[in-house]
Structure 1
Amino acid sequence: MDIKRIVAFFAIVLIVFAAIGVTSPQLVKQVKLGLDLKGGFEILYVVEPIEPGKPVTPESLKQTAISLEKRADSLGIAEPEVTTEGSDRIRVKLAGVSNEEEVRKIIKEPAQLTFRGPDGTKEMLGSDFVEGAAQVGFDQQNRPMISIEVKDKEKFRKVTEKLIGQPLGIYLDEHQLSAPIVQQVLTDGKATISGNYTYDEANKLKDTINLGALPLKLTEKYTQSVGATLGQLSLQETVKAGLVGSVLILLFMLIFYRVPGLVASISIITYAWLLLVVFDWINATLTLPGIAAFILGIGVAVDANIITAERIKEEIRSGKSILSSMKAGSKHSFRTIMDANITNIISGFVLFYIGNGAIRGFALTTMLSIVLSVITNVFFARFLTLLLIRSNLFKKPVYFGVKESEIREL
């Protein structure tokens, strides 16, 4: 018996389980829940320009989505999900919202770019500026600045004359983007906005001014509401079903596969924990389809362990030693496992690329679970199994689910 390998096995398992025990409560608490679990509502908007004949560009669509997200943030909604779809659609998911009608009314209003005086008076609108004329340049000190041009020169002259020496605030809805000081009366309809900007800040302000001349109208195409009670009930039932299924799977592995089943149980628990860690790291949102993919991933992980364990049993029945059987069984099962996982990843990638909303969440969880399953249930499980076999603690084939009578002579 090799005491060092036995100690190493138990030390690794204790360290992993200690990490799981310490971090899991916080990880579970930090997981973002989608509106189907937390309650809230989802709206799919079709976007069109307010002024007929003007195009809906990818930039204006993206800027509108950013505006909607900022509006939701200003209303105190935690972590709103706002995504663009296709060339003219925006999907908004707002979880944990109680005053749905009020929020929908505020969200739906077109984003408005305004230029205001110190007293809050709206002196100019985004539509007063020449579309696409705003450009980023550099002043004599090599600091970024934005050059702009207006459609009505006389109106701009009056505004600059009125506010000379005062700030002209640039607002998107009620959010102030900048407040440059009017240095002189401008008569040619052109001006520069300078200040202590980084290049990225100047570029964002330039894009906002250019897109401010293209306000978009939102029309609700689809809406879905989920009550907080219903969402919480769905979460509880799903988690309960997942826990019961996982416990039954682990018992099955322990009863039918003995030592490989023990290692499989350790690697599956490690896999589930790592998936939670990755979810927290990428700040992903967990939905019902995501939980389904999570549980399905456990099934795939179990499948990988069963294939390996059965291959090892076949090698033992052929008369090989336990160590030789483990090496040969792992080698032969690896191709089968990787073939299945690679095809699943391809399917998940296709779903993620062409899908939207819950479908993409399912696909992302599936792909992550496959990668982590290979790491834990192939490589980590193989490492632990080798430690136990080389320790000479489990020499008999019965520990691997094979009876002596089933073994053929080489």
Structure 2
Amino acid sequence: MKARNGFVFTLSAIIIIVFAYLLMFGANLGPYYRFNAAKDLLKLGLDLRGGVYIEMEAVDKNVDQDALERARQMLELRVNNLGVAESTVAIAGGNRIRIEIPGISDAKAALEQVGRTGKLRFVGPDGKEEILTGSDVKDSTVGVDPQTNQPVVQLKLNEAGAKKFAEATKKYIGQPISIYMDEDLISSPTVQNEIPNGEAVITGMKDLDEAKRVAGIIKSGALPVKLQAATVRTIGPSLGAEAIPTSTKAAVIGVSLVMIFMLLYYRVPGFIADLALTVYIILTVLIFIGIKATLTLPGIAGMLLSIGMAVDANVLIFERIKEELKIGKSLKSSIDAGFHRALSSILDSNITTLIAGFVLYYLGSGSVKGFALTLILGVLTSMFTAITITRFMLKTFVNTGWIKNTKFYGA
């Protein structure tokens, strides 16, 4: 039994250390394969990477939220047409839309691209004949094809549009009629038969999100609300060039000092806490990569703060274990009682932090949301590692019988 626990503990520690090394330094297998998870997969925000930040504000203060969402979709289409990856277009609360375009420096050109009025056109197979415009579209909604159970876009045209569309669909059966917003191709469905009543269905949507996007753009015809630039600024990459190495250095120094303190003060439990803290950092980074979160400076601050929360939970547990050892309980009994007694304190402190994080996330915007998101994810992950990983590793180590003297456990 002791040999089995020794094997499990050693294997677990090796896996944790190997994953931590790969996350920090990556894998370098010569010229054919190089990989660094944190560097290659984490998305960096404007404050770290540089780019253009724009806030568009609706001129009408009482704008409908559905119209604002359609405007956001159209702006997103235009931003993507700039050829910039990892851009962000989001409703910033109230009547504003926030646009973040990393990696470019010409704010004027970006504003001209995203802020133009826009024109919707249905174009014939030759690419020149304009069949319909946005003024001919009465409505555009998302539906489901009853035969294939796939999402479709349902079009309704006004009287003038229905007449023009009937002539075009009769003429172009078996050929595509392309739908453009300005010069951006939205969809290019093939005409299956003549449509005389002004009600058409566009099939071939790969998923519901694409159907919603196409329907929203067609329904708008142009930007559904009049927008004006409220904030336009260029953020240079020099901030990121300085902030990334500085933040990395600060994080390494801070985490190292915490680990050394835990090891010297709590000895065996401190070593276990260091392993659990390493698991916490690995999980946090992997979660950020998995949800494709954008890392900003406030986000880094939230992550470092949650590291402190992770250590705090371990301190509560170890102090309770010390108290149990001092009254003469056995090592195994003290560990079980210590975790049980510390659980309520850990939950209380972390739940209050989570409440604050959720309030900041739902009421804040921009960098405040980034800070709140990393704090929430960090606190949840720290609770998991403190309650499960620390307990599993500590009990497994005690069961190895390698160190039985309670002095090494804080007594």
- Structure 1 length normalisation: TM-score? 0.85
1:354 aligns with 2:398: no
The answer on whether the counterparts of 1:48 and 1:218 sit within 8 Å (CA) in structure 2 is: yes
Match of residue 176 from structure 1: 186
AA of the residue aligned to 1:37: L
Report the Cα distance in structure 2 between the residues aligned to 1:2 and 1:133, rounded to whole angstroms.
69
Q: CA RMSD in A?
A: 3.1
The answer on whether the counterparts of 1:293 and 1:365 sit within 8 Å (CA) in structure 2 is: yes
- Structure 2 length normalisation: TM-score? 0.85
Report the Cα distance in structure 2 between the residues aligned to 1:302 and 1:262, rounded to whole angstroms.
12
Q: Relative to 1, partners in 2 of residues 1:159 and 1:7: Cα closer, same or farther, differing over 3 Å?
A: closer
1:130-149 to 2 correspondences below 5 Å: 130=138, 132=139, 146-149=154-157
- Displacement, 1:19? 2.9
The answer on whether the counterparts of 2:134 and 2:218 sit within 8 Å (CA) in structure 1 is: yes
Q: Relative to 1, partners in 2 of residues 1:162 and 1:342: Cα closer, same or farther, differing over 3 Å?
A: closer
Report the Cα distance in structure 1 between the residues aligned to 2:140 and 2:252, rounded to whole angstroms.
59
Q: Which runs of 5 or more structure 1 residues have no equivalent in the other structure?
A: 403-410
Other structure's SS at 1:216 match: coil
Report the Cα distance in structure 2 between the residues aligned to 1:287 and 1:247, rounded to whole angstroms.
22
Alignment identity in percent? 32
Q: Relative to 1, partners in 2 of residues 1:208 and 1:40: Cα closer, same or farther, differing over 3 Å?
A: closer
Q: 2:119 aligns with which of 80, 95, 112?
A: 112
Report the Cα distance in structure 1 between the residues aligned to 2:92 and 2:277, rounded to whole angstroms.
36
AA of the residue aligned to 1:16: I
The answer on whether the counterparts of 1:41 and 1:93 sit within 8 Å (CA) in structure 2 is: yes
Report the Cα distance in structure 2 between the residues aligned to 1:382 and 1:199, rounded to whole angstroms.
44
Report the Cα distance in structure 2 between the residues aligned to 1:199 and 1:103, rounded to whole angstroms.
29
Report the Cα distance in structure 1 between the residues aligned to 2:397 and 2:148, rounded to whole angstroms.
69
The answer on whether the counterparts of 1:290 and 1:365 sit within 8 Å (CA) in structure 2 is: yes
Q: Relative to 1, partners in 2 of residues 1:398 and 1:145: Cα closer, same or farther, differing over 3 Å?
A: closer
Match of residue 30 from structure 2: none
Report the Cα distance in structure 1 between the residues aligned to 2:394 and 2:140, rounded to whole angstroms.
67
1:30-45 to 2 correspondences below 5 Å: 30-45=41-56
Match of residue 15 from structure 1: 15
The answer on whether the counterparts of 2:106 and 2:234 sit within 8 Å (CA) in structure 1 is: no
1:3-402 to 2 correspondences below 5 Å: 3-24=3-24, 25=26, 26-29=36-39, 30-48=41-59, 56-117=63-124, 118-130=126-138, 132=139, 146-150=154-158, 152=160, 156-157=163-164, 160=167, 164-165=171-172, 167-173=176-182, 174-181=184-191, 190-193=198-201, 200=208, 205-212=214-221, 215-402=224-411
The answer on whether the counterparts of 1:145 and 1:195 sit within 8 Å (CA) in structure 2 is: yes
Report the Cα distance in structure 1 between the residues aligned to 2:337 and 2:144, rounded to whole angstroms.
66
Report the Cα distance in structure 2 between the residues aligned to 1:185 and 1:303, rounded to whole angstroms.
68
String of CA shifts for 1:55-94, please: whole Å, max 9, x gaps: 8433322222122222222211111111113352211111
Comparing 40-49 with 254-263, greater Cα deviation is found at 40-49
The answer on whether the counterparts of 2:186 and 2:214 sit within 8 Å (CA) in structure 1 is: no
Q: Relative to 1, partners in 2 of residues 1:264 and 1:75: Cα closer, same or farther, differing over 3 Å?
A: same
The answer on whether the counterparts of 2:324 and 2:337 sit within 8 Å (CA) in structure 1 is: yes
The answer on whether the counterparts of 1:254 and 1:262 sit within 8 Å (CA) in structure 2 is: yes
Comparing 173-182 with 288-297, greater Cα deviation is found at 173-182
AA of the residue aligned to 1:320: K
Report the Cα distance in structure 1 between the residues aligned to 2:193 and 2:398, rounded to whole angstroms.
82
String of CA shifts for 1:203-256, please: whole Å, max 9, x gaps: 654443322266333211123432111222112211111111111111111111
Q: Relative to 1, partners in 2 of residues 1:114 and 1:9: Cα closer, same or farther, differing over 3 Å?
A: same
Report the Cα distance in structure 1 between the residues aligned to 2:257 and 2:379, rounded to whole angstroms.
21
Q: Relative to 1, partners in 2 of residues 1:270 and 1:213: Cα closer, same or farther, differing over 3 Å?
A: closer
- Displacement, 1:311? 1.3
Report the Cα distance in structure 1 between the residues aligned to 2:271 and 2:98, rounded to whole angstroms.
45
Report the Cα distance in structure 2 between the residues aligned to 1:142 and 1:262, rounded to whole angstroms.
56
Match of residue 407 from structure 1: none
Q: Highest Rg: 1 or 2?
A: 1
Other structure's SS at 1:6 match: helix
Other structure's SS at 1:345 match: helix
Report the Cα distance in structure 2 between the residues aligned to 1:64 and 1:365, rounded to whole angstroms.
29
The answer on whether the counterparts of 1:46 and 1:89 sit within 8 Å (CA) in structure 2 is: yes
Report the Cα distance in structure 2 between the residues aligned to 1:195 and 1:324, rounded to whole angstroms.
65
- Displacement, 1:36? 0.6
Q: Which runs of 5 or more structure 2 residues have no equivalent in the other structure?
A: 27-35
